[in-house]
Amino acid sequence: MAITSPEKRVWWNEPLHRPEVIWITIAFLWGLLMFGMMVYWHVAGRQNLSNEAYKVFPEKFAEKVEDMVAKYKVREEGATKIPVVRPPPGSDVYVLSRLWEWWPILELEKGATYRLHLSSMDWQHGFSLQPVNINIQVHPGYDLVLSITPDKAGEYTIVCNEFCGIGHHQMIGKIHVVDKK
Amino acid sequence: MPAMAPETEGGGAAERVPAMQRLLDNHFLLLFLGVTVPAVLYLVWGIMEVAQIPIGK
Amino acid sequence: MAASNEFRTCSVTGLKVHLPAEALIKANAVVAVVFLAVGGLFGLLVALTRWQAVHILPAEWFYLLLTAHGADVLLFWVIFFEVALLYFASAILLNCRLATPWLAWVAFALMLAGAAIANVAVLQGESSVMFTSYVPMKAAPHFYVGLIVFAVGTLTAVGIFFGTLVIAREERTYQGSIPLVTFGALTAAIIAVFTLASGAIILIPTFLWSVGLITTIDPVMYKVIWWGMGHSSQQINVAAHVAVWYAIAAVVLGAKPISEKVSRTAFLMYILFLQLASAHHLLAEPGISSEWKVFNTSYALYLAVLGSMIHGMSVPGAIEAAQRKLGFNAGIFGWLRKAPWGNPAFSGMFISLVLFGFLGGISGVVLGTEQINLMMHNTLYVPGHFHATVVAGTTLAFMAFTYLAVPLVFRREIVLPTLAKWQPYLFGLGVAGISLFMMGAGTLGVARRHWDITFSDAPLTFEYPPAAILMMGLNGMSAVLAAIGGLAYVLVVVGSILFGKRLDAPDAERPRFIPRLPTTVAAYGSAGTLHVPGTIVLVTVFFMSFVLYYFVNWKYLSEIWPMR
Ligand code: HEM
Ligand SMILES: [Cu+2]
Ligand SMILES: [Cu+2]
């Protein structure tokens, strides 16, 4: 029994049963296949999280965001008058997170590719883009750079999905994806 | 290691204990492996990954 | 050598029971149940708050009690119980004295003090940082002190387990290899050493930072090391509850592992690779290479998953073989229909096995796939997944084991047997509900650890799909069911310990849930042909669900915004 020592002193040499051998083989091959899927997706898939990141000072990051806002601001939105920016396709775009907002609002062109920078000014936040359901952790002191290609037009919401204090559930932002004019 | 003086019954005194069984009966060797493998592959490698993230401009 | 008056002989199993070990098992188990009761209540309140129509707690209390819930159930309930299991699997199963009982009491006192300090810190309100306490969000210093003291106590207890193994070997209290259940406990203990070491490496500097002696802690570095503790501790749970499955099958049905070699090799896969999966929590972090992520998140080419899939066949296979030996041979599933479903030790164990495999296991592998994680990271899918593993799997298995431990260790009969009979079903159904509905809501994007998913006082507006709100309601209802199942457990256990009929009289009856087994069963071995068609059907269904669900998620992934 499992709660007593094996009856045979040497149990390693006992032969395996057929069903066991088959199951172990299937499970092993399935593991290899699942491992291979992740590798394969890096080569052939179109959704891979970028690992390009830099250590940054929050103030430095904020400066770049403010630059972008100064250059490309088109209007303001919401009760707190968050600037909406429309940078050119292919450019570097920034979303800054801090207690408790995503700043500014981006307006992107459908089908164009942008280099999106994410960083936090204070605590960790969770970039959760809805309804596409893309979820990325945002750290203070790190600038994560990823190339995104929004492929459907519409209004997208950034929900914060990392607990960041008492205003956590009020922390939402927006990304607009619009058709090319 | 006070390894496995073959306390025989049933199996026959002559049967040698195979290496894999000796490994599985060697609790402190298992402890060593169980701590070292993740310490190297997960912790040390992981810490090196984070340490190597470049400084931004 | 221990004095012989420190032992008694168990009238049910014939094992020699070391009385100081028995006292320690009792103390640790009782404290565990207290934390489960408290933490479970907090879980219910949290779930009722997330049920938008009920929304019972204000925001501050929600985050505070969510922190307390995580700590009390995930750390304190589970780990106190595991210490009891370690002592049981070493001293009792090996017929041995426990190494240094006095030190085990010190360990117990440290763990209790640490748990109490952490609870005080959280309930004072200055430490609502979630039990993960990600920096740079700061808790009160005594929050970290509590966790550190608790970890020191636990490490001491694990050391005593190893000490007991040494004593048993030197005093030759067992013949040959240790029992499989003890080997499972050894696996848990080994993982615990890595877990606690990682905890020390990260929590001590974090404490120093909280009192101002260190200026910064890198948040990504923190997570790498913290999850070396946080996730590995879940792997202690897996190893421990698999050991418990084997133990219950042995006691209730006389089931014998189909093959010692296969089951132990599966545990070896755990020892070597299970802990790498701590990387599951870092798949969405900046700057870590995909080589590291893919290798670690896959437990080195899924070798630890292989271990679990092996147990997934050998546990039901052992049960089927034992049942057939007992004469339940009709058809493919006659053995399963005729299983002792009225015995909560058995039913709890089997429900735990099925829910852990189908809900927890499959969702865990999918969630831990590097790219698919993008669609799930920090959504409610994550708590949905781990309530299937650590609640439906570990907690339910431990509950089932209690129905054997109370008569064997506390030597009291189980009271309220009808309630006990229903308990695993109530709890199992409720937990299956919270797991599925949280996973469902997570698939729709709903954030975890979130007080108000209607965003009623946010500066911008957003609505999740109505189905998500519905799921949260169903989640709340399932939570009520799970809480009733949990309450039933606490009532039965506390009632039995206090008021159950004593079983230590020489003429005491056989405990209700520990049947007398015909001796032939125990003799059923791996010799001869293995005939387990029912188990083969079960694992085939499992495998097909796994493959299907896995690829459905890749399909979903291929539809989101391209990115690289
Ligand atoms: C009556 C039983 C239980 C119910 C109704 C319940 C319900 C919940 C709910 C609704 C959440 C919050 C999810 C969120 O908003 O992010 C949660 C979180 C959690 N639960 Fe439970 N739970 C129960 C038992 C348990 C048990 C027994 C364990 C562990 C053994 C456990 C471990 C956790 C953990 C670790 C978290 C995450 C806390 C965090 O995000 O920091 N739960 N639970
Ligand atoms: Cu936030
Ligand atoms: Cu937040």
User: Which has the closest alpha carbon to A31: C551, C365, C235?
Assistant: C365
Distance A168 CA to ligand 2 centre (A): 5
- Which residues of chain C from 366 to 405 reach within 8 Å of chain B, CB to CB? none
In a domain, B19, yes or no: no
Residue type, A148: I
C131 lines ligand 1 (CB under 6 A): yes
* SS3 call for A25: helix
Which segments of C51-140 does DSSP mark as H helices, in order? 59-69, 78-87, 101-123
Is it the case that residue C40 has pLDDT exceeding 50? yes
Phi-psi region of A174 (alpha: psi -120 to 50; beta: other; left: phi over 0): beta
The pLDDT tens digits for C133-143 are: 999 999 999 99
Residue type, C188: A
The pLDDT tens digits for C210-254 are: 999 999 999 999 999 999 999 999 999 999 999 999 999 999 998
No. of helices (H) and no. of strands (E), chain A? 2, 12
Closest residue in B to C195 (Cα) is B35
Is it the case that residue B5 has pLDDT exceeding 70? no
Is it the case that residue A71 has pLDDT exceeding 50? yes
**Number of domains, chain B:** 1
Q: Which residue reads 């599951």 in tokens?
A: C280
Q: How far is CA C143 from CA C133, C202, C419, in A?
A: 10, 14, 38
How far the first Cα of chain C sits from its last, in Å, is 65
Yes or no, beta carbons of A149 and C561 under 8 Å apart: yes
Alpha-carbon distance of C434 to C387, in angstroms, equals 7
Q: Which residue reads 């909560």 in tokens?
A: C344
The DSSP bridge partners found for residue C500 are: none
- Which residues of chain C from 102 to 141 reach within 8 Å of chain B, CB to CB? none
Size of chain C in residues = 564
Taking a C-beta distance cutoff of 8 angstroms, is the pair C541, C435 a contact? no
Yes or no, beta carbons of C298 and A12 under 8 Å apart: no
Per-residue pLDDT, C529: 63
Task: Pick the residue of B9, B16, B21 with the most A CBs within 10 A to test the interface with A by mutation.
Answer: B21
Using only C-alpha atoms, chain A has a radius of gyration, in whole angstroms, of 24
Q: How far is CA C461 from CA A82, A125, C380, C438, in A?
A: 13, 19, 20, 23
Query: What are the φ and ψ backbone dihedral angles of C500, each rounded to 5 degrees?
Result: -65, 150
Taking a C-beta distance cutoff of 8 angstroms, is the pair C412, C497 a contact? yes
Which chains neighbour B (Cβ–Cβ under 8 Å, 3 or more pairs)? A, C
The b/e string for C239-274 (b: 16+ C-beta within 10 A; e otherwise) is bbbbbbbbbbbbbbbbbbbbbbbbbbbbbbbbbbbb
Using only C-alpha atoms, chain B has a radius of gyration, in whole angstroms, of 21
CA distance to partner chain B, nearest, from residue A29 (Å) = 23
Yes or no, beta carbons of B6 and A9 under 8 Å apart: yes
Quote the tokens at residue C190: 């080994």
Is it the case that residue C307 has pLDDT exceeding 70? yes
Quote the tokens at residue A17: 């049963």
Q: How far is CA C286 from CA A19, A48, A141, in A?
A: 44, 13, 11
Per-residue pLDDT, B7: 44
Nearest to C445 among A34, A133, A160 (CB): A133
Closest residue CA from atom 9 of ligand 1: C47
- Which residues of chain B from 3 to 22 reach within 8 Å of chain A, CB to CB? 6-11, 15-18, 20-21
Beta strands A125-130 and A154-160: pairing type?
Answer: antiparallel
The answer to whether A11 contacts chain B (CB < 8 Å) is yes
Judging contacts by C-beta atoms under 8 Å, the chain A residues touching residue C302 are: 30-32, 34-35
Nearest to B49 among C175, C273, C292 (CB): C292
C479 lines ligand 1 (CB under 6 A): yes
Q: How far is CA A47 from CA A41, A146, A149, C370, C467, in A?
A: 8, 11, 10, 10, 26
Per-residue pLDDT, C519: 61
Q: Which of C69, C81, C233 to mutate to test the pocket of ligand 1 (most atoms within 8 A of CB)?
A: C69
Closest ligand to C-alpha of residue A168 is 3
Alpha-carbon distance of A98 to A61, in angstroms, equals 12
Quote the tokens at residue C477: 């209802």
Stretch (H or E) spanning A137 = strand A134-138
Spacing of C-alpha C541 from chain mean position: 24
Taking a C-beta distance cutoff of 8 angstroms, is the pair C59, C128 a contact? no
Q: How confident is the model at residue C417 (pLDDT cuts 50, 70, 90)?
A: very high
Q: Which residue reads 């290798």 in tokens?
A: C295
Is it the case that residue C3 has pLDDT exceeding 60? no
Q: Which residue reads 């493919």 in tokens?
A: C332
Q: What is the mean pLDDT of residues A100-107?
A: 94
Spacing of C-alpha C46 from chain mean position: 20
- By the CB criterion, residues less than 5 angstroms from ion ligand 3 are A 160, 164, 168
In sequence order, the 6+-apart residues with CB closer than 8 A to the CB of C479 are: C43, C44, C47, C48, C51, C430, C433, C434
Range of the domain at B35: 26-57
- With a cut of 0.85, is the ipTM above it? yes
Closest residue CA from atom 36 of ligand 1: C70
Task: Pick the residue of A7, A8, A11, A12 with the most B CBs within 10 A to test the interface with B by mutation.
Answer: A12
Task: Pick the residue of B17, B24, B25, B26 with the most A CBs within 10 A to test the interface with A by mutation.
Answer: B17
Nearest to A137 among C261, C285, C445 (CB): C285
Judging contacts by C-beta atoms under 8 Å, the chain C residues touching residue A16 are: 259, 261-262
Q: What is the 3-class SS of C334-358, one letter each residue?
A: HHHHCCCCCCHHHHHHHHHHHHHHH
Alpha-carbon distance of C498 to A34, in angstroms, equals 51
Which chains neighbour C (Cβ–Cβ under 8 Å, 3 or more pairs)? A, B
Instruction: State the Cα angle at C390 between C386 and C391, rounded to 5°.
Output: 100
Quote the tokens at residue C158: 């694990």
Q: What is the mean pLDDT of residues C481-493?
A: 97
The answer to whether A152 contacts chain B (CB < 8 Å) is no
Alpha-carbon distance of C24 to A94, in angstroms, equals 57
C381 lines ligand 1 (CB under 6 A): no
Q: What is the mean pLDDT of residues C53-79?
A: 95
Q: How confident is the model at residue B14 (pLDDT cuts 50, 70, 90)?
A: low
CA distance to partner chain B, nearest, from residue A45 (Å) = 24
Yes or no, beta carbons of A9 and B10 under 8 Å apart: yes
Q: Which residue reads 């058995």 in tokens?
A: C346
In a domain, B41, yes or no: yes
Percentage of chain A beyond pLDDT 70 is 100
Nearest to C561 among A31, A140, A148 (CB): A148
Alpha-carbon distance of C179 to C159, in angstroms, equals 19
Is it the case that residue A97 has pLDDT exceeding 90? yes
Alpha-carbon distance of C452 to A172, in angstroms, equals 12
Q: Which of C54, C391, C478 to mutate to test the pocket of ligand 1 (most atoms within 8 A of CB)?
A: C391
In a domain, B14, yes or no: no
In a domain, B11, yes or no: no
Residue A37 has a CB neighbour count (10 Å cut-off) of 19
CA distance to partner chain B, nearest, from residue C474 (Å) = 38
Per-residue pLDDT, A8: 86
Size of chain B in residues = 57
CA distance to partner chain C, nearest, from residue A92 (Å) = 14
Alpha-carbon distance of C307 to C287, in angstroms, equals 31
Burial grade of C77 (CB within 10 A; 0-12, 13-18, 19 or more): buried
Q: How far is CA C233 from CA B25, C12, C191, C448, in A?
A: 24, 33, 7, 21
The pLDDT tens digits for C432-478 are: 999 999 999 999 999 999 999 999 988 899 999 999 999 999 999 99
Per-residue pLDDT, B10: 43
In a domain, B46, yes or no: yes
The DSSP bridge partners found for residue A176 are: A107, A155
Task: Pick the residue of C460, C514, C555 with the most A CBs within 10 A to test the interface with A by mutation.
Answer: C460
Closest residue in C to B46 (Cα) is C224
Alpha-carbon distance of A122 to A167, in angstroms, equals 13
Alpha-carbon distance of B39 to C178, in angstroms, equals 27
Alpha-carbon distance of C485 to C491, in angstroms, equals 10
C66 lines ligand 1 (CB under 6 A): yes
* SS3 call for A53: strand
Yes or no, beta carbons of C162 and B27 under 8 Å apart: yes
Beta strands A125-130 and A134-138: pairing type?
Answer: antiparallel
Domains and CATH numbers, chain C: 61-279 (1.20.210.10)
Q: Which residue reads 């006659």 in tokens?
A: C334
What's the CA dihedral at C386, C390, C396, C402 to 10 degrees?
-170
Yes or no, beta carbons of C137 and A164 under 8 Å apart: yes
Quote the tokens at residue C365: 């592998």
Is it the case that residue C1 has pLDDT exceeding 90? no
In sequence order, the 6+-apart residues with CB closer than 8 A to the CB of C542 are: C312, C357, C358
Query: What are the φ and ψ backbone dihedral angles of A115, each rounded to 5 degrees?
Result: -95, 105
User: Which has the closest alpha carbon to C250: C178, C349, C358?
Assistant: C349
Phi-psi region of A119 (alpha: psi -120 to 50; beta: other; left: phi over 0): beta
The pLDDT tens digits for A106-115 are: 999 999 999 9
CA distance to partner chain C, nearest, from residue B57 (Å) = 16
Yes or no, beta carbons of A9 and B8 under 8 Å apart: yes
Percentage of chain C beyond pLDDT 70 is 97
Taking a C-beta distance cutoff of 8 angstroms, is the pair C186, C82 a contact? no
Alpha-carbon distance of C328 to C321, in angstroms, equals 10
Alpha-carbon distance of A14 to B21, in angstroms, equals 11
The string of DSSP codes covering A60-126 is HHHHHHHHHHHHHEEEEETTTTEEEE-PPTTSEEEEEEETTEEESEEEEETT--EEEEEEESSS-EE
In a domain, B33, yes or no: yes
Yes or no, beta carbons of B31 and C162 under 8 Å apart: yes
The pLDDT tens digits for C500-554 are: 999 887 777 889 899 887 765 544 444 456 789 999 999 999 999 999 999 999 9
Alpha-carbon distance of C274 to C277, in angstroms, equals 6
The pLDDT tens digits for C368-381 are: 999 999 999 999 99
Per-residue pLDDT, C149: 97
Q: What is the mean pLDDT of residues C60-71?
A: 96
Taking a C-beta distance cutoff of 8 angstroms, is the pair A2, C322 a contact? no
The answer to whether A51 contacts chain B (CB < 8 Å) is no
Size of chain A in residues = 181
Is it the case that residue A154 has pLDDT exceeding 60? yes
C79 lines ligand 1 (CB under 6 A): no
Percentage of chain C beyond pLDDT 90 is 88
Per-residue pLDDT, B12: 47
Residue type, C96: C
